[in-house]
Amino acid sequence: MSGPDPWRAHGSGRGFNGAERVTDDGPTYDPKTDTYVGRFETEPASLAVIEALATVRHCEPTELEPLYSSVDPDALDRLVASGSEKLRIRVHIDGFDVVVTGSRRIEITPPE
């Protein structure tokens, strides 16, 4: 993606520190990889994914395609909660490529 980033979340200029929720300031944008990156600690992975994607899209979570259309939310939560650091789950949600890792990281790549 070249030029100004139309998906950049407002106020997302800083990183995450531990227990804050992914929506506090939203995922940060990495122009080198054209990806938004965030971390979550205290909430289920399914909720963190929806909150992060809604922040990137500048919309309410209810305006997104339901998560269960792309992945079983309960299975996603159980897999991430298993604690496997090597875990990487990639799903396509609402036109975005979303990766959730076992280290509780979310990477969101916008459509081209």
Under 8 Å between Cβ of 89 and 67: no
Whole domain around residue 59: which residue ranges? 28-109
Q: Residues with Cβ < 8 Å from 15, sequence gap 6 or more?
A: 28
Q: With b meaning 16 or more CB within 10 Å and e meaning fewer, what string describes 72-95? A: ebeebbebbeeeeeeeebeeebbe
Asked if residue 48 is part of any domain, the answer here is yes
Asked if residue 5 is part of any domain, the answer here is no
Residue identified by tokens 């600690």 is 41
Query: So what's the pLDDT on residue 85?
Result: 86
Number of domains in the chain: 1
How do the pLDDT tens digits run along the chain, 112 residues long? 333 344 433 333 333 333 333 445 679 998 899 999 999 988 999 999 999 999 999 999 999 999 999 999 999 999 999 888 899 999 999 899 999 999 999 999 999 8
Asked if residue 17 is part of any domain, the answer here is no
pTM for this entry: 0.75
Quote the CA–CA distance of 8 and 67 in Å, as a whole number: 21
